[in-house]
Each structure stands twice: as C-alpha cells, then as structure tokens.
Amino acid sequence: MTTRNVDARRLNVKGLLIAVGLPVVLVGALVATLLGTGAFSRENEGEDASLWLWTTPLGEIARVNGLTAATDVRLDITDAAGNAVQIEQTDSHLLLREIATGKVSAIDLSTLEVTGNAETAPGEGVRVALSDDGAFIIDQTQGLVNQVDPSTLSAIGDPLQFPAGLTGGAFDADGMLWVGVPREGTIVQIEPRDSGAKTAATEVVAQPRQELALTVLGDGVAVLNSTAKEMTTIRTDGRRAVTPVELAGPAETAVTSPGTIASVTVTDPPSIVTVDDEQTRSFAIGAGSSELLGASVEFHERIYVPDGASGLVWVYDLDGNELQRIEIDSGGGPVELYHTGDTLFANAVNTNAAVVVSADGVAALAPKNRDDILGGDAPPTEDDGGDEGDEEGDDESAPEVGPPGAVTNLDGTVGDGTINLSWDAAPNNGSALTKYVVEGAGQSWEIAPSQRVLEIGDLENGQGYTFTVTAHNAEGAGDTATSPTITPSAEVPGAPSGVEATANPDGTVTVKWDEADGQGNDISGYQVESVSGTGERTVVGQANGTELKTAAGTLDYGTQYAFQVTTLSGSAASAPSELSATVVPFNVPDAPGDLLAQSSGSAAGTIDVSWSQPSNNGRDIQKYIVTAGSQTKEVTSGTTTSISGFNNNEQVNVSVVAVNEAGQSEPATTTSNTMSAPTVQISSHESLANQINLTLAIDDGGSDDAQCTLLSDGVNQSTQSCPDVYAVTGLYASTSYSFQIKISNPAGEMTSSTYSASTTTINGQIYFRCDEGYDTAYCNSVDGISVYSTTNNNGNSIGKTHSGDRYKAYCWASGETVDVRGQESDGYHDYHPDKNASDKWIKIDYASNAYVPFAWLNIDGVGKNSVGDLPEC
C-alpha cells in the first residue's frame, strides 16, 4: 500500500520534499538578485498567522495573512515557473529549495535578505525541516540527518547516520525533530544543539522493513503502519497506544497535524480513518477516487480533506457527517493543507487560489495574485506513485481488479548465518499492493511493497532453508511463490569497496566498484542493490565484472538513489558494501505538451506559439527550441513565443523540443497559417423605420481586431471593430439606401460589393375638410392645402395637395404651429375633427424637399395625433 506523507504545517508541495547531498556546501545566491539586499522592512504583527504559499505556473511565492485572508507580498523565483519547490518557514526564517536544481536558500523574513545558500543534488530524496529551535537537512536516501544554521545553512556538528530510506522529518511543539527509520521499524526523536544534533529517544513501532508514515500531532506523534494496518500513538506524557485501523486501499497522511487526533485519507475507496489513542473511526466521504485526494487533518474537531480533482476541501465532523464543501479553483492540480498558529490554509499550487479557515470553521478566499502589493504584476504538477508492482495502465488495458499475482525471481544470497532474500514485484491486478508476507525458518515477516529485499539473520550455517513470499492488496492474498533451497555458509567473500555511481544522460546509471577479496572463495559475480530516497530497496542486477549499468527507465528519473554491492561466490554473498554517493537518474525531457500554434492576431506574417512544460525527467529544462518553417528560436524563459517574417496566409510547420542536460526531447509538432487579408460581404438585413441592421459574413483572416468601415452611397460613415451585425442608424423612413463595408487588418483590406436596402415604408393620407364640401368662407377661398419646401407658411409653396392624397412619409421636423379649428367671421369651424394643433411638419415624397403640416396628414396604423415610428428629421 502506498502511504504518502504530506506536511500540513509548513509549505511543502506534495511529493517535492526531497533531494540534498551532504555535507552542505555554500554556493552563490539563488534569489539574491531577485530580492536584493534589505529589500524592505515588514511588520511582525500577526506573523504567526501568515504563510508563504507557492504557485507552480507562475514560479512565485505569496505571503497570505491568515487573519485577513489578504496577500500582502509576492516574490518571483527566477526560472522556477512550472517547477516545484519546498518551503519551510517560521516567523523569522524561510528556507526555500528548488526541486529541479536542488538549490536551497535561507531568507531572513525581517528584511527578505538571502542570508545563506546550499547546493544539493537535484530531484527527490531529501527533506528540509525548520523550527524556532533549529534547522535540518534530512537526506532520506543516505539516512543522514544534518543540523544546519537556519541563517547560513552551514553544518552544525557531524550528521547523524541511520539506515538508508528515512521517512518523515518534522518538529514537534517542543522543538524536537522526529524521523522514521522503516528499515529498523523505529522512530527517532532528535534534539538540535549548539554543538550538533543528538538522538534523544528511539521508539520501536513496527517490524523492520514495514511501511511507516510519521505524523507529528499537537500532542505527541502518530505512526501509521500500512503493512500491519495499525496506528501507534505516543503522547507527550509517555502514554502509548497501538490501534488496528481499516485500510481498504492506498493511504495519505500529513507530516504534521494541528490537533490531537490523527487522520488518514484512504484514496481508493475514498474514506477517512481517525485515531485518538485507542479510539478509531472510519467513514466514507463524498469525494471520488483520485490521485489528487490529499492528506487530511483534524482541526478544531473537524476533518478537512483536500480534493484537487473536484476543486473542494471536504469538511466533516468526527462522526463522519458532512459539514461543508469549501470551493477552491485547483486547476486540475493538488490542493495542500497547511497550518500555523490557529489558522488552516488550503493552497491550490496550480492556480492563484487559496483559502484561509479560522478556528470556528469560517472559510475565506485568499487570492495569491493581487497586483496592488509588493511584487504585483509578477510573470505569467507529479506522479506520486511508487514502485508497487506493475502499473495499472489505462482503463482499456487495466486488468480486472483482483488479488495480486505471484512475485518472480525469488532467490537469495547467503552469508555467515544470514540469507539476503530478494524478488521482483508482483502484478497488482488493478489494486495497489499493501504488503508482502514472507515466511520461512519458522518465522513470518510483513514488509512494505516498496521493500523487495529482506535480510534474514540468526540462521544455522549448512542447513537449507526455503521461503515463501505472498503479495497482498485490498482484494486479498495473491499466489504464493517459493524460493529454492538456500543454505547459509560462513565461507563468504569479502565486501567490495570504492563503490561509485554515475547517472548518464541516456537514463542509465553506471555503478562501478573495486574488485573484492574472495577470502579464499571463488568470486562468481557481484549483486547491486539500489536504495531510493523514498526508502525503496531493490536488487537492480548482477554483474560478472566490476561494473553494472541499469537499463534506461529502470530507476525513476528525478529521484535520488544510492547503491550497495555484495560479492557473490555461488550462492554465498559478502556483507554489503558501503553506500555509494547519491545520484539522480535523468534522461531527455518528455515532449512539450498542449502545443498550440496560431496566426498572430495583431501582426501580419507572424505565428504565436505556446506549449505546456513537460516532465523534465530528472534535470532542469534549460531551454526550448522552436522551429517554424525555416526559422529557429531558442526560448529560455516561459512557454510562449512569436516568430515573424512569413507571407500572408502561409502554412507553417511548427515544432518545439525541450532541452536539458541530457539533450533534446522528441518534438511536439503542429501546423498553422499566418494571418490572411480579410473578407466581408453583406449577407442580409433587417429594416426599421430609422435603422437598417446589416448582417455581415466576415473572415477576419485571423486578426484579433479587424476594423470595418461603413460606406453609405460611397461615403465613409464610421469605423469600428467588425461586428456580426452592423447597425446603421439615423436613417429616414421609406427610403432606399446603398451600403458597402470596407474591412482591414494588418495583412490587407477589401471592400464588399454594394448592397441595397430600404427602411420601413410609412404612409400617410391628407385630410382637409374643405375638400369634403365643408361650406365656410375660408373653404370657399382656398383650393386644398399647400406643400412647402420648409416647415412654415412663409409663402414658398411648391404645390397643392388634397384630401385623400397619399404619400410616403420620411420624417418629421418642428416648425410653425398649425391649428385646425377656431372662431372665424362666419362662426367657429373645425377643419380636421379630433386632430390637435401641432408644430410638427412631415417630409413627404411630393418632391425632393417637401413638407406638409402634420395637422393635415394622418399616419397609417396609428392614432391621428401620433407619428408612430416616423423618425425625427
């Protein structure tokens, strides 16, 4: 079973808490050129409620205040965008380690000065720990725990040596460091001193080589033994409890947790297990099974479960009742939980989202990308799976879930009263392995699935032994494999010396050693065993000579390994050699992902190219080489670029390779066309009384902002960003117009063909009562009503019109008021019943510029005193 241990107090990006070789060596500053010297002074009020949080895509850290949920500082880390870092922090110091390069910097938080630097091996394999009482660099691969000065990172005293493959590494409230030693089945309490670290206590918590995960609690420590499925709790006052736990699948635990209750996340099937001394509870949770289901913590009697797949932090009470779902934009990456003081932080490392949770459970969003602060406007995730047997593969090829298969190549080498048993991983058959059970010589051992080497001692020389190994997963026990008969012997050769390992740029590792003394025995070969930073021990091969080269991909890229060699004389084997120095296997990067090439929206003959950072496979990516057509460009920062100099509408082949120390990746390829000259036609229209809406068929040629100019009857009217529908306003009713659209972008321009359209036709009819036989003195003196070229009765009549005459109306304009009734010499007369006096004059199609008073014209379809939709002139 895989148990991942994630720090919930300090800022540690999951799976990235490792990789340093000891002794510590001072090097040039990692971020001094970024932060400067004495960059600024900061106030210390409320510092215990603030944490620095990492954002992977931007390559920057942001300080988030837990009291206000406000980000107050952002710092860019040079060339770190897309890479992972580990951050450890107190109120006064911050240690930052860039995983890809292994660079470590100590920063004084009162000034943000870089006060010390250390160079460590790149990749995973080391943990940095920091408290107010001291600082440590924990080389998990080599089993070395080195105390360092938190300001200068210089070594304090000699390192403590433990068996290789450590786990954990965090401080308790009393300033004591705790680490786990799975090879011995112990946990160790270490005290930092002025003269160097000392072991303060050692607690046996498991059989050797079982899978252990150590959590430092608010009161004491808890050790999850995934192999034996039990939790050991040791309190500050010495009380000890060993409690069986239900683990149905892979589990994750936090390196530290603020409360007194230990919480375990089972990722498949999703569930939570809590342990409070002898009391244990288990309950299912609403999250789906996912590698992004993270380590849970207990905080003020609530269980918080980060779920990157769904972008949530699930909150439960201690009985398993769901209390809340805290939303956080995870960007498809992990969500990590940290705590300081009395505040819980949830950080989405793939986005700018963070959440601050108070002691009473109130959650507040805390965006990390504020621009109105120091460092604003800063520049524009990882496989946690260990070697637990054959990969499950994708859904289509994954086997039916069931118990595991049998281990293979089960055999052993012998020494004086010892047998060193080894085997290859069993197929997990769709469910992660939880343990191996080894039986023989009257004994039984349960060991972690990452351990495939078992040293068995206290055996009788000359007596043959056989052993069985059975793999287990959540579905049960697999088939049992039986070793050949193995006979210990005192007649063993001497151990090799001078073991050296070299990581090669083709993904292989070359291990060399000095020829051993056979001690009177014929040397038949040598066996090489690797020890990883995650504690995994595996036989990687045998050699007849004094050199062995591992196959590419046998060892995980970016993970630290050390090697031991034993001398073979038939089945007899020497004691193992001393560990080699640590190396980190590496190879060329994977091909860049998500390659997108498209025409530049703002420049002709230009291609914009973007891609996502691939796995660097153990070495930092130094640059990208972008090839477009016959042009090549090197990109040393970021994952975007533009290449120009092409013809309009030219198809361009684009490729991008990533380059690291090992060389170039396979290319990612695509094609794109440059911007072309735009085209436009008017395809249809909608008519209103004073407006025509022209529907445009546009090809902008790939431009972000093609411009369209309206031509009405050949005259430029207006220019704007090209719309789908161009609204032509301010028109007359009942009028025909001709339109063209001219479109332009950086690659060229064109003008559409002419399109004719008319506004809505509005008709009206003249009414003049005199023409209806109305007998008055006035009627006897006139012949119809006059049509004028202006909007007043000033004598410039251009003609006559009569009742019943019909006209198209174009618009109305204000002018002289005309009344249709009144007292005359022969009495009171009404010449247009129900019509009001009006100063409106209607332009009609009598002549090119002809007006009649609205008093004598009725618009069709509306009331006598309404002009309806007729626009103003």
On whether residue 47 sits in a domain, the answer given is yes
CA–CA distance, 662 with 665 (Å, rounded to integer): 9
On whether residue 371 sits in a domain, the answer given is no
CA 258 to chain centre: 26
Same domain, 722 and 811: no
Coil, strand, or helix at residue 133? coil
Do residues 229 and 239 touch, judged by C-beta distance below 8 A?
A: no
Backbone angles phi, psi at 90, to 5 degrees: -125, -170
Q: What is the pLDDT of residues 723-747, one digit of tens each?
A: 999 999 999 999 999 999 999 999 9
Task: Give the per-residue pLDDT at 415.
Answer: 84
CA–CA distance, 599 with 605 (Å, rounded to integer): 8
Q: What is the pLDDT of residues 55-76, one digit of tens each?
A: 888 888 888 998 888 888 888 8
Q: What is the pLDDT of residues 628-686, one digit of tens each?
A: 999 999 999 889 999 999 999 999 999 999 999 999 999 999 999 999 999 999 999 99
Task: Give the per-residue pLDDT at 453.
Answer: 86
How many domains does the structure of the chain reveal?
6
On whether residue 872 sits in a domain, the answer given is no
CA dihedral over 575, 577, 582, 585, signed as positive or negative: negative
Of 244, 290, 243, which is closest to residue 265 (Cα–Cα)?
290
**Which two three-digit tokens encode residue 358?**
């108070």
Beta bridge partners, 253, equal 5
CA–CA distance, 333 with 346 (Å, rounded to integer): 13
Of 439, 542, 538, 540, which is closest to residue 481 (Cα–Cα)?
439
Task: Give the per-residue pLDDT at 400.
Answer: 77
Do residues 334 and 352 touch, judged by C-beta distance below 8 A?
A: no
Do residues 635 and 628 touch, judged by C-beta distance below 8 A?
A: no
Same domain, 329 and 451: no
Continuous segment of H or E residues that includes residue 33: helix 32-35
Task: Give the per-residue pLDDT at 374.
Answer: 58
Spell out the residues 6+ positions from residue 442 whose beta carbon is closer than 8 angstroms to its own: none
**Which two three-digit tokens encode residue 591?**
């091909």
Among 482, 508, 524, the domain-final residue is: 482
DSSP string, 176-223: -EEEEETTTTEEEEEE--TT--EEEEEEE-S-TT--EEEEE-SSSEEE
Same domain, 137 and 275: yes
Task: Give the per-residue pLDDT at 8.
Answer: 34
Q: What letters, b where the CB count within 10 A reaches 16 and e where it falls short, cover 831-860?
A: bbeebeebbbbbbbebeeebbbbbbbbbbe
Task: Give the per-residue pLDDT at 126.
Answer: 85
The 8 Å CB, 24+ separation contacts for 845-848 are 845/734, 845/807, 845/808, 845/810, 846/787, 846/798, 846/799, 846/801, 846/807, 847/787, 847/789, 847/798, 847/799
Same domain, 112 and 176: yes
Question: Are β-strands 93-98 and 103-108 bridged in parallel, bridged antiparallel, or unpaired?
Answer: antiparallel
Do residues 142 and 580 touch, judged by C-beta distance below 8 A?
A: no
Same domain, 39 and 140: yes
On whether residue 382 sits in a domain, the answer given is no
pLDDT along the chain (873 residues), means of 10: 37 29 32 30 43 87 88 79 83 84 83 84 84 90 93 95 92 93 94 95 92 93 93 95 91 92 94 95 94 94 95 96 95 90 91 93 90 53 41 47 91 87 90 91 89 89 93 92 90 94 97 94 93 84 95 92 93 90 95 94 94 91 95 93 95 96 96 94 95 95 92 83 92 94 94 95 96 91 92 86 96 95 92 95 93 96 94 94
Same domain, 739 and 776: no
Please report, for the domain that includes residue 534, its CATH number.
2.60.40.10
Among 712, 730, 758, the domain-final residue is: 758
Of 766, 788, 777, 775, which is closest to residue 832 (Cα–Cα)?
766
Which parts of 84-197 are beta strand (E)? 85-89, 93-98, 103-108, 113-119, 126-131, 134-139, 144-148, 160-161, 167-171, 177-181, 186-191
On whether residue 393 sits in a domain, the answer given is no
Same domain, 743 and 622: no
Q: What letters, b where the CB count within 10 A reaches 16 and e where it falls short, cover 587-606?
A: bbbbbbeebebbbbbebbbb
Spell out the residues 6+ positions from residue 141 whose beta carbon is closer than 8 angstroms to its own: 125, 126, 164, 165, 531, 532, 533, 560, 561, 562, 582
Do residues 467 and 412 touch, judged by C-beta distance below 8 A?
A: yes
On whether residue 867 sits in a domain, the answer given is no
Residues above pLDDT 90, as percent of the chain? 67
Q: What is the pLDDT of residues 145-166, one digit of tens each?
A: 999 999 999 999 999 999 998 9
Same domain, 259 and 351: yes
On whether residue 434 sits in a domain, the answer given is yes
DSSP string, 345-369: EEEETTSS-EEEE-TT--EEE--S-
CA–CA distance, 533 with 857 (Å, rounded to integer): 96
Same domain, 639 and 728: no
Show the domain range for 697.
679-758
Same domain, 19 and 71: yes
Same domain, 217 and 352: yes
Place of tokens 């390829």: 669
Start-to-end Cα distance in the chain: 84
On whether residue 671 sits in a domain, the answer given is no
Same domain, 740 and 767: no
CA–CA distance, 10 with 131 (Å, rounded to integer): 10
**Which two three-digit tokens encode residue 200?**
């303060």
Among 618, 642, 666, the domain-final residue is: 666
DSSP state of 274: E
pTM, entire model = 0.65
**Which two three-digit tokens encode residue 379?**
């520049």
